Amino acid sequence: MISAGDFRNGLTIEYENSVYQIIEFQHVKPGKGAAFVRTKLKNIISGGVVEKTFRPTERYPQARIDRKDMQYLYNDGELFYFMDLESYDQIGLNQDSVGETLKFVKENDMVKVCSHNGNVYAIEPPLFVELQITETEPGLKGDTATGATKPAVVETGATVYVPLFVEQGDVIKIDTRSGEYLSRV
């Protein structure tokens, strides 16, 4: 059990029959009246964000979140398969569980599988990936002063906006959180 006075960013608690992660918190001590803790909570299952206030003495059970490194194997059209490299156990997840998180992940890449009580709720790709460009238009000479970009399709099928000097066949580094081009490799 953890009291509301000990809340920190990133902490997960069980509240109202669901599991929430604390995004922001603020201890408020008004001049008149009792102190309270103002928080922004993210429901880890649905992804919804709510704002709640708590008395500092209120206690809630801390939720146990398991993050396990697993290898992304393949997609058979319906399920995405992952393997634990220690036990060689494989799990299959549907599109609803995976979402858009694998658009920059190639087969055999490592990801973090997040679960609560054995139920997988999220896949965390690596923060940065290096992918080869499979399709893009050639850039025009002398058109680089404006910092212009063009769409490019990478080997996983995702589209990234890259500078005009990047060409087909180049390997680029991408930030998976924002989907932005970082550099050529």
Q: Are residues 20 and 44 in the same domain?
A: yes
Contact 182, 173 (CB under 8 A): yes
What local confidence, expressed as pLDDT, does residue 63 receive? 86
What local confidence, expressed as pLDDT, does residue 141 receive? 64
What local confidence, expressed as pLDDT, does residue 39 receive? 93
What's the total number of domains in the chain?
A: 3
Contact 183, 177 (CB under 8 A): no
Q: Which domain holds residue 170?
A: 128-184
Angle, CA 104 vertex, CA 175 and CA 102 arms, to 5°? 120
What local confidence, expressed as pLDDT, does residue 144 receive? 58
User: Cα(53)–Cα(37) distance, rounded to whole angstroms?
Assistant: 5
Boundary (domain end) residue, out of 124, 146, 171: 124
Q: In this structure, what CATH number is given to the domain that contains residue 80?
A: 2.40.50.140
Q: Which two tokens stand for residue 3?
A: 């009291």
What local confidence, expressed as pLDDT, does residue 180 receive? 87
What local confidence, expressed as pLDDT, does residue 52 receive? 92
Which residues, including other chains, have CB under 8 Å from residue 6's CB and lie 6 or more apart?
Answer: none
Q: Are residues 119 and 72 in the same domain?
A: yes
10-residue stretch averages of pLDDT, the chain, 185 residues long: 87 88 90 90 85 91 88 87 89 81 86 84 86 84 69 89 87 87 86
What local confidence, expressed as pLDDT, does residue 147 receive? 73
Three-class SS string for the chain?
A: CEEHHHCCCCCEEEECCEEEEEEEEEEECCCCCCCEEEEEEEECCCCCEEEEEECCCCEECECCEEEEEEEEEEECCCEEEEECCCCCCEEEEEHHHHCCCCCCCCCCCEEEEEEECCEEEEEECCCEEEEEEEEECCCCCCCCCCCCEEEEEECCCCEEEEECCCCCCCEEEEECCCCEEEEEC
One-letter amino acid identity for 41? L
Contact 50, 70 (CB under 8 A): no
Does the predicted model carry a pTM greater than 0.75?
A: no
Q: Are residues 89 and 55 in the same domain?
A: no
